[in-house]
Amino acid sequence: MIAGADLRAEGVWFSYPGREPALRGVDVEIGAGQFVALVGQNGSGKTTLAKHFNGLLRPGRGRILVDGQEIAERQTADLASTIGYCYQNPDHQIFATTVAEEIEFGPRNLGVSAEEVVARTGRLLDLVNLRDEAERYPFSLGRGQRQKLAVASVLAMEPRILIVDEPTTGLDWQGGAAMMRLMRELHASGRTIVIITHDMNIVAEFAERAIVMAGGRIVVDGTPAGVFSDDDALREADLRVPQAFQITRRRPDLFDGQPLTVDEARRALLSRSTVAAGDLS
């Protein structure tokens, strides 16, 4: 058991009405302050598991614990200020008529003082770079900005744990990178981050831990490097590792090991010239 585990699933089974089980006995612990990527194909159970952690779904069998306490015993408001959940499609959660109101809604609902709500909203507008858009209609923003607004409105309740379903889907490379830099900042400020993603480059670059799901089960759980090396599990989950790792894994002799990301692999290659030059002198 991880000391200070934030989230724990114990033998969790779940079926949507009239369907095959979506979760088939999931056991997992996510410790405080981890940066976790939950990966797998659609229908593998990732989102279903994530929705158990914020109490949107209740297990058919097994139990979910948040800070060691069974989730069924916790008040919704209390849970909302512990765990924030961002939907895959930001438009499913945006409803206010201005950007600022969207952010203010959550904390105001939790009974946070008006003064504090204003202060938080100001900080969050800066954090997600939407200060100039505060009075705009949310749906007039671009997809990347709406995604950030959705995250900001969840952060306004100051959750310690943030679960974000596909933070980069629908964004281009730069938009996705900006979103992930925000995730990294939030992690650095002490939060537990759980992202659900299909993008293995993001797993390689940002996550400390990858949990791979297939058919309602966890098929492998470990560091990105460890998970990317587990061919059987990846085959079962039908996932492809990033191109850079496909290359470095086959030729560790050329890359001074098996770097995970393209930037690391490129640096490893370029440092060879220094070695070669050194050999000549």
Exactly one of 33, 122, 170, 215 binds another protein (CB under 8 A); that residue is 170
Helix 243-250 crosses helix 262-280 at what angle (to 10 degrees)? 40
**Contact track, another protein, 22-41, x by CB under 8 A:** -------------------x
Nearer to another protein, 83 or 241 (CB): 241
CB of 278 to another protein, least distance (A): 13
CA distance 33 to 186: 10
CB of 254 to another protein, least distance (A): 6
269 binds another protein (CB under 8 A): yes
What lies within 8 Å, CB to CB, of 107 at 6+ separation is 116, 117, 120, 156, 157, 158
Residue pair 175/143 in contact (Cβ under 8 Å)? The answer is yes
Nearer to another protein, 4 or 139 (CB): 139
| Phi, psi (rounded to 5 degrees) for 169 | -65, 135
110 binds another protein (CB under 8 A): no
215 binds another protein (CB under 8 A): no
Q: DSSP assignment of 28-52, as one string?
A: EEEETT-EEEEE--TTSSHHHHHHH
Tokens at 37, concatenated: 């990527």
Instruction: Choose the binding region for another protein from 2-10, 105-113, 131-139, 170-178 (rule: CB under 8 A).
Output: 170-178
Exactly one of 74, 123, 143, 184 binds another protein (CB under 8 A); that residue is 143
What lies within 8 Å, CB to CB, of 15 at 6+ separation is 21, 22, 60
List residues near another protein by CB under 8 A.
41-43, 142-144, 169-175, 198, 201, 238-240, 242-244, 246-247, 250-251, 254, 262, 265-266, 269-270, 272-273, 276
